Amino acid sequence: MKIDWNLIKKYDKPGPRYTSYPPAPHFHDAFTHEDFIEEIKRTNLDKNAPDLSFYFHIPFCDTLCYFCGCNMITTRKRDRISRYIGYLKKEIDIVKSLIAPYRKGVQLHWGGGTPTHLTPYEIADLAAYIHRSFDFKENSEKGCEIDPRELTKEHLAALKSGGFNRISMGVQDFNKTVQKAVNRIQSEKLTRKVVGWVRGLGFKSINLDLMYGLPFQTAKTFESTIDTIIDISPDRIALFNFAYVPWMKKHQQLIDPNDLPPSEEKLDILKMVVDKLSLAGYVFIGMDHFAKPDDELSIAIKEKKLYRNFQGYSTHAGTDLYAMGITGISQFGRIYAQNQKEEKPWYHALDRGILPILKGFSLSGDDILRRDVIIRLMCDFELDFALIEKKYNIDFHEYFRWGLNNLDVMIDDDLLSIDNDILKITQMGRLLVRNIAMNFDGYIEKEADKGRYSRTV
């Protein structure tokens, strides 16, 4: 990939990641659990009701990583964790009672926090409860995030016995100076040992998470981490741009902003990683994901079956996503619904036998149209205007006049082309796909988006 760093600098500005459209800052508390239930009833009536995807948020961690942007709780109180699992089962019971029994799951994901902060017994118990409550199709994708620093082989064995077939593990950076600055000490030796356990137990796939833009990182020091990752040879690699948002995540104030690499250095890091992973044979999926050529993500992008939601890129397009646990975001039909973000109100709702909804959003026809366009841009990296016109009975050029007018400069910068009403994003444009998608965002067009977002590169 040829990367023009002047263009990267030109377009590097805050923007949504489009794990949803509209983005989460538009969710509001006028949306209630009654709205959630009504949409479940409506989707149940569809004779071709989508398959199901389930996300469970396990927020607990043993230690605090200063860079973390997740909703997490640092605790070693086992009774607090046990109580949380008990309430997860209550939420499972409510959701199970509402979903038509003929509908089957095809995807399961545990995220956090650190799901493996649970004991092996707790992992096995919760996995068994989920599988007694919901029916999954054969060969369903079942993934769990792990932290090698507090992991035993028994944790992984419990996950394998519980039906999980994919593992995702954070690494971020092997450099000791960087690790100390973000309070995450994790040796290469430990990482290799855990990867060996994962492979030895027969898990189908392993993903490693990396992060650039952390304190004291340089392209030269991070190159050593990338060489090690290539040697470890995971099936997938997620390379995340560190989002420094101390106004949202107060613990990030523990990071001195003066220690963060300047923009030029971050861009050098990104270029080095893209070059090295591409030369090593990984397929650049888009934005922040890489996969081996035979991985399902790589196949999905060729077959135009890639999808994007709150878990990032996925091969399961069109599923109804039900998220349980604090801060979980469900997505199906015409709604998004986010759970309470704190334990007490989440417990209180479940004690009353109602779904613990904090806020949500009901999509208009315009939202659904624009979501479709943005997802296709983010996943296919091309868009056939005629298909959208036929599907939604619109004049594409008229409907998206504002955004199309903005694309002229991006065409001149070779980020995309439009021929015979087919928009195609270039390899360079894939790095800036968020910027391209923003031109089809109706809230940005109307200057009604006041969200504070991370930078696009």
Residue 337 belongs to some domain of the structure = no
CATH number of the domain at 315, please. 3.80.30.20
Are 288 and 415 part of one and the same domain?
no
Residue 74, strand partner residues: 61
Domains contained in the chain, number: 2
Are 374 and 272 part of one and the same domain?
no
* Type of residue at 41: K
Predicted pLDDT of residue 313: 81
CA 266, chain centre distance (Å): 22
Helix orientation angle between 33-44 and 78-98, rounded to the nearest 10 degrees: 50
Residue 1 belongs to some domain of the structure = no
Residue among 152, 105, 153 nearest 130 (CA): 105
Give the model confidence (pLDDT) of 87-135 as tens digits: 999 999 999 999 999 999 999 999 999 999 999 999 999 999 999 999 9
Residue 357 belongs to some domain of the structure = no
Are 278 and 409 part of one and the same domain?
no
Residue among 231, 241, 216 nearest 276 (CA): 231
Residue 52 belongs to some domain of the structure = yes
Q: Which residues, in sequence order, are CB contacts of 97 under 8 Å at separation 6+? A: none
DSSP annotation of 419 reads: E
CATH number of the domain at 410, please. 1.10.10.920
Percent of the chain that is helix, strand, coil (3-state, to 5): 45, 20, 35
Task: For residue 286, say if its preceding peptide bond is cis, omega within 30 degrees of 0.
Answer: no
Question: Phi-psi region for residue 134, left (φ > 0), alpha (ψ -120 to 50) or beta?
Answer: beta
**61-91 burial string, b = 16+ CB within 10 Å, else e?**
beeebbbbbebbbbeeeeeebeebbebbebb
Strands 320-324 and 312-314: unpaired
CB 123 within 8 A of CB 116: yes
DSSP annotation of 293 reads: T
* C-alpha dihedral (294, 297, 300, 301), degrees to nearest 10: -100
Are 236 and 371 part of one and the same domain?
no
Strands 289-291 and 236-241: antiparallel
Out of 276, 300, 324, pick the residue that ends a domain: 324
User: Dihedral sign, CA of 68, 72, 74, 78?
Assistant: negative
Give the model confidence (pLDDT) of 235-262 as tens digits: 999 999 898 888 888 899 999 999 999 9
Owning domain of residue 439: 364-448
Place of tokens 């199901």: 52
CB 403 within 8 A of CB 445: yes
Are 317 and 403 part of one and the same domain?
no
Residue 352 belongs to some domain of the structure = no
Are 287 and 385 part of one and the same domain?
no
Residue 339 belongs to some domain of the structure = no
CA–CA separation, 39 vs 322, rounded Å? 12
Residue among 176, 275, 287 nearest 230 (CA): 275
Residue 232 belongs to some domain of the structure = yes
Token pair in block for residue 324:
């349980």
Residue 354 belongs to some domain of the structure = no
DSSP per-residue letters across 360-401: EEEPPHHHHHHHHHHHHHHHHSEEEHHHHHHHHT--HHHHTH
Are 159 and 284 part of one and the same domain?
yes
CA–CA separation, 437 vs 72, rounded Å? 30
CA–CA separation, 408 vs 416, rounded Å? 9
CA–CA separation, 425 vs 457, rounded Å? 17
Token pair in block for residue 123:
């992992």
Predicted pLDDT of residue 246: 87
φ, ψ for residue 361, nearest 5 deg: -160, 135
DSSP annotation of 149 reads: G
Are 255 and 399 part of one and the same domain?
no
Number of other residues whose CB lies within 10 A of the CB of residue 335: 19
Q: How many residues does the chain have?
A: 457
Helix orientation angle between 219-232 and 188-200, rounded to the nearest 10 degrees: 20
Give the model confidence (pLDDT) of 330-343 as tens digits: 999 999 999 999 99
Are 243 and 389 part of one and the same domain?
no
Question: Phi-psi region for residue 14, left (φ > 0), alpha (ψ -120 to 50) or beta?
Answer: beta
Number of other residues whose CB lies within 10 A of the CB of residue 138: 6
CB 84 within 8 A of CB 56: no
- List per-residue pLDDT tens for the chain, 457 residues long: 677 778 888 898 888 988 899 999 999 999 999 999 999 999 999 888 999 999 999 999 999 999 998 889 999 899 999 999 999 999 999 999 999 999 999 999 999 999 999 999 999 999 999 999 999 999 999 999 999 998 999 999 999 999 999 999 999 999 999 999 999 999 999 999 999 999 999 999 999 999 999 999 999 999 999 999 999 999 999 999 898 888 888 899 999 999 999 988 988 898 899 999 999 999 988 778 999 999 998 998 888 888 887 777 888 778 999 999 999 999 999 999 999 999 999 999 999 999 999 999 999 999 999 999 999 999 899 999 999 999 999 999 999 999 999 999 999 999 999 999 999 999 889 889 999 999 999 999 999 888 877 777 7
Predicted pLDDT of residue 1: 63
* Type of residue at 314: S
